[in-house]
Amino acid sequence: MSAIRLLVGTRKGAFILTSDGKRKKWEVSGPHFAGWEIYHLKGSPVDPNRLYASQTSGWFGQVMQVSKDAGKTWEAGGNEFNYAGTAGTHLWYDGTPHPWEFKRVWHLEPSLTDADTVYAGVEDAAIFRSADSGRTWQELPGLRGHPSGPKWQPGAGGMCLHTIVLDPSDAKRMFIAISAAGVFRTDDAGETWRPMNRGLRSDFMPDPTAEVGHCVHRIAMHRSRPGVLFMQKHWDVMRSDDAGESWKEVSGNLPTDFGFPVHVHAHEPETIYVVPIKSDSEHFPPEGKLRVYRSRTGGNEWEALTNGLPQSDCYVNVLRGAMTVDSLEPCGVYFGTTGGQVYGSADAGDKWKPIVRDLPAVLSVEAQTLP
Partner 1 sequence: MIRVVLPAHLRILARLDGEVTLGVDGPVTQRSVLDALEARYPMLRGTLRDHATKKRRAFVRFFACGEDFSNELPDTLLPEAVATGAEPFLVVGAIAGG
Binding stretches for partner 1 (CB under 8 A): 34-36, 57-63, 76, 79-80, 82
User: Closest distance between partner 1 and the C-beta of residue 10, in Å?
Assistant: 15
Cβ burial 223-234 (10 Å sphere, 16+ → b, else e)? beebebbbbbbb
Triad 302, 304, 305: Cα angle to 5°: 125
Residue 158 burial class via C-beta count within 10 angstroms: exposed 0-12, middle 13-18, buried 19 and up: middle
User: Closest distance between partner 1 and the C-beta of residue 13, in Å?
Assistant: 11
| Length of the chain, in residues | 371
Task: Render 320-358 in DSSP notation, one character per residue.
Answer: TBSEEE--SSSPPEEEE-TTS-EEEESSTTSS-EEEES-
> Which pairing describes strands 27-32 and 13-20: parallel, antiparallel, or unpaired?
antiparallel
Q: Indicate the residue among 12 and 351 with the shorter CB distance to partner 1.
A: 12
Q: Indicate the residue among 62 and 345 with the shorter CB distance to partner 1.
A: 62
Phi-psi region of 21 (alpha: psi -120 to 50; beta: other; left: phi over 0): alpha
User: Closest distance between partner 1 and the C-beta of residue 143, in Å?
Assistant: 21
Residue 187 burial class via C-beta count within 10 angstroms: exposed 0-12, middle 13-18, buried 19 and up: middle
Q: Indicate the residue among 82 and 169 with the shorter CB distance to partner 1.
A: 82
Q: Indicate the residue among 37 and 257 with the shorter CB distance to partner 1.
A: 37
Q: Indicate the residue among 59 and 371 with the shorter CB distance to partner 1.
A: 59
User: Closest distance between partner 1 and the C-beta of residue 73, in Å?
Assistant: 11
Are 322 and 261 in contact, with CB atoms under 8 Å apart? yes
Q: What are the helix (H) ranges across the chain?
A: none
Q: Which one-letter DSSP state was computed for residue 149?
A: G
Which amino acid is residue 195, in one-letter code? P
CA-based radius of gyration for the chain: 19
User: Closest distance between partner 1 and the C-beta of residue 193, in Å?
Assistant: 26
User: Closest distance between partner 1 and the C-beta of residue 286, in Å?
Assistant: 30
Are 230 and 237 in contact, with CB atoms under 8 Å apart? yes
User: Closest distance between partner 1 and the C-beta of residue 11, in Å?
Assistant: 10
Q: Indicate the residue among 56 and 324 with the shorter CB distance to partner 1.
A: 56
User: Closest distance between partner 1 and the C-beta of residue 38, in Å?
Assistant: 13
User: Closest distance between partner 1 and the C-beta of residue 182, in Å?
Assistant: 30
Q: Indicate the residue among 35 and 208 with the shorter CB distance to partner 1.
A: 35
Q: Indicate the residue among 35 and 227 with the shorter CB distance to partner 1.
A: 35
Are 121 and 157 in contact, with CB atoms under 8 Å apart? no
Q: Indicate the residue among 78 and 255 with the shorter CB distance to partner 1.
A: 78
